[in-house]
Amino acid sequence: MRPSPSTVLPMAVDDDSSSTTFQNKEESKTEQKQGDGVIDEPPVDPGTHEELMYALGVNLARQLGDFRPLVETGDELAKIAQGLLDTVVGRLSEEGQSQLLSKRGADLNELVQTRASAIKARLEEAGRDMLENMKQSPGVEVLDSGVVLHVLEHGPEGPGKGIRPTRSSTVKIHYHGTLADGTIFDTTLSGDPVSFPLAGVIPGWREGVLKMHEGETAMLGIPPNLAYGDQGTPDGRIPGGSTLFFKIQLLEVMTAGIGGSPTLLGADGKKLDSKTGTASQSSGLLGADGKPL
């Protein structure tokens, strides 16, 4: 789930050493979200037909979306699983399915709507409270739109300095996104950072990143009206009315950046190292002695 208005994923790009610090700080949070009974590997032998069938089941389950927030008890979840299995394997006949849904369909719709409304109300209240608490932290900037930005680590050029993106920029970032209740809805920590144009992301995310400088790490609080609104995301991972919280490391402003120290480019268009005056790889730029810089 990238912070974009659609479900189209931006292309991932190669990682670099500047992302290591951010990953180390957040790995423990990801581990904490894995409760008892959670597995990282399928319980079948790799490369077998059983693994292929297990993958089919996983794929079908993911298409259902995450309905767990609508379930209040383990007994309810067990009955839902039983209904799914009985329908998939044909244990409950077509006639039985139709009769059941005809008899309890209205009750089911009412149950789903009631619980979804309750979830939305809880998330909205928790989000408002967290944003207000975030505003009390020293050094926090509250934008006119209501987006809250808290810079945690400054870039290499110091506080308030360095290259900043523009609305036309493509940026390379690491991020970790959570709901107000701490649910992780997306993170890049398990893989490479990502790059995408700021023009294609949700408004609050774009506003916050536009205030950042290259190399900074910041917390970002985004109210629902600048995130996914009352509808949430189609897959249900972000319910309607959710305030979103991101920890973002702006690794690189790849295009259309402004400000920062003057940047020298080699003959191949690559940046020269700001400390040594040389490129990390041969740039094709020659010094006074005729040797490559």
- Catalytic positions are 175, 185-186, 202, 228, 246
Measured CA to CA, the distance from residue 132 to residue 232 in angstroms comes to 22
DSSP string, the chain: --SSSSSPPPPB----GGGHHHHHHHHHHHHHT--TT--SS-SS-TTSHHHHHHHHHHHHHHHH---GGG--SHHHHHHHHHHHHHHHTTSS-HHHHHHHHHHHHHHHHHHHHHHHHHHHHHHHHHHHHHHHHHHTSTTEEE-TTS-EEEEEE--TT-TT-S-B--TT-EEEEEEEEE-TT--EEEESTTS--EEEEGGGS-HHHHHHHHT--TT-EEEEEE-GGGTTTTT--TTSSS-TT--EEEEEEEEEE-SS-B-SS---B-TTSPBPPTTTSS-SS--S-B-TTSSB-
Q: Which of 42, 29, 23, 7 is nearest to 193 (CA)?
A: 23
Measured CA to CA, the distance from residue 197 to residue 213 in angstroms comes to 16
Backbone CA torsion sign across 75, 81, 82, 84: positive
For 113, the token pair is 């709507």
For 279, the token pair is 């490129």
